[in-house]
Structure 1
Amino acid sequence: MAGGIEANGTFTLATELGRARVHLGNVIIERCGDVWVRSVEETAEFIEGLKSNSIPTITSVGPGKARQFGTSSRTRANVAGQKKSKGRRQRQYPPVGSQPSIEWIHLERLSIDGAYQRSTDNAASRRLISGIAAKFDWRLCAPLVVSRRPDDTLTIIDGQHRWMAASQREDIPQLPCCVFRYQNIQEEARMFIVANRARKPVNRLDDYFAAVAAADEDALEIHQIVTEAGLRIARNTSSTAWRPREVAFTAAIATSIRRFGPAITSAVLTNMAVAFPDQKMGHGGAIFGGLVRIMSRSAHDFDPDRLVAALQTRTADQWGQCATGLKGGDMRAVALQDAIMRVYEGLIPSMEA
């Protein structure tokens, strides 16, 4: 209780969410340190909601475990049932846990727990931390997720790279943090797993279109070369969703521009547009790689028109079959280079040969 009982019989409780006033006839509900005040009429439904929304025990964490946390057979059955009732409004259960406090915390007060945190003792993490430190941008610094333990120590659940990067600088003494209270280290570890599994990484095409929107010079150059060749960048990473004249190998195009220049890259893309005007190019990356190898090493008597004629002897899918079973961009590109040049040189003038 926060204070005594008033003359009208009411009193207040101190909770994580602030003070809650209790009137005569109210029911006080406590669960895992969280407190709610409800009328008698609301109590039964509220308690059922708490039961339904309780966090299941993790049984699927560790190497080789395919099932994700929280996707038990019961959960899957509920999801399947929801598909049958799309017209119904989904029931919303009470939020789990208590609202965090938002605080600016000095770096030296923060720490990490190696029992569940990822190791940063590797080259990739060191590069990431150094990169954030070198070009620290407050606009990209989301609040860290932090656990306040019973002994008042502050342990980072999510954001250790930002914390370590800021610690390398002398002009950032504090970072913004969402501070929660967890029951124990096991719950901290569960939240760490959920936070990291819930993230959806940015795929290469989303990254490209974001870079174009941000007026990135490299992305704009790729856009210009592809467009002038009569092609366009696909919006979906799934080849089944691609349409004729769409390509998705933005990284290969960027590498070609950097190594061989825009002229060769543009010529290769133009040849593909002319040779396969109404065809999906599911193997476009391999074809592009093979053509880059050919055109970047061509002899003085090389005939571009003859190359286009050679490409038109097969469909894009048929050319792609030349790289079936091969892994790695270089191996696939070499296979396409050899196959295309055999046709170009007249050794295999057509598919019937």
Structure 2
Amino acid sequence: MTSSLRAALVGYGLGGSAFHAPFLASTPGLVLGAVVTGNPERQTAARDRYPGTEVIGSLDELLTRADEFDLAVVTTPNRHHAANATALLEHGLPVVVDKPFAASLDDARALRETARSRNLMLAPFHNRRYDGDFLTVQRLLNEGRLGRALRFESRFERWRPDASVNRKEWKENADPANAGGITFDLGSHLIDQAVVLFGRPTHVHAEVLVRRETALVDDDVFIALTHDNGVRSHLWMSAIAADLGPRFRVLGDKAYYVKYGLDPQENALRAGEIPGGPGWGEEPESEWGRVGADRQSTVERTDPGAYQQFWSGIVTALRTNTPPPVTADDGVTVLEVIEAAYRAQASGRQEIPPVG
């Protein structure tokens, strides 16, 4: 029997404890071998939840023992993503790195080149490809139920009018090196999903705004993408939406699909549920979307969300030396669009140059 791959999780904040550790500990073929954090409270939390997992106090210590592991997962503050991932790759470890892939396009490209030069897997963590509602959109388009796609509307909106509540300093810091703001945060997911469906865009229009009085970084953003096939993607991300719009509204030349509410996996993970069991990722019928045209529509069951599929894909990629479910090229594309969006806010609609 092939032994399981030992993973080292670098960082144990919300991302590490809720979105990574539960899957590293439960995915067939993976073992959560170590959690890397210097925070005493997080060290205790990791030991309590995963008593068989070693806690390592620093990335430097992990690097001296890199040959004891088969995979590293980086979920540190955004400004450290590229540097930490680069150090791990240079010590021979394949890496999954949380979004955003890097704090700048130049850093993203350099990180990709480091992985290529060492023939090591490098996978951005775009888990929202496995949201149930997004899987439903993919299925409806693939089945031709909506006809030819014309317009894709996608939103991550919240009502958090006070920027000082639950503020993470590095997410609200205006220093570009921190990759703070809602464009890097929620926008990374929305852009990636649009690219998965309709390909790398050719042009970008953006409204990147700071609305709340005490906010220092963008908190209310609209991005419009023009895809080569003629589809227009309209993406909203906001912390100050007093009325939440539909999560998805997809218009085709035969029918539409509209869906409100968020995938349930995040709340389940925050509540400490073990992923992948019976009913995992299932939405109640009251949350399902609708497919129709004009005034005629029917309820459409939401496909179960399946973040575990990202991790099983990582296992397969490492076992077979094949591409991971999300590639470094995908991460670079998201940064290309983000930087084009910031330029577009300053100077108008931006053309995205050829793949770089």
TM-score (norm 2): 0.23
TM-score (norm 1): 0.23
Name the structure, 1 or 2, with higher relative contact order (CA <8 Å, separation 6+): 2
* Larger strand fraction of residues: 2
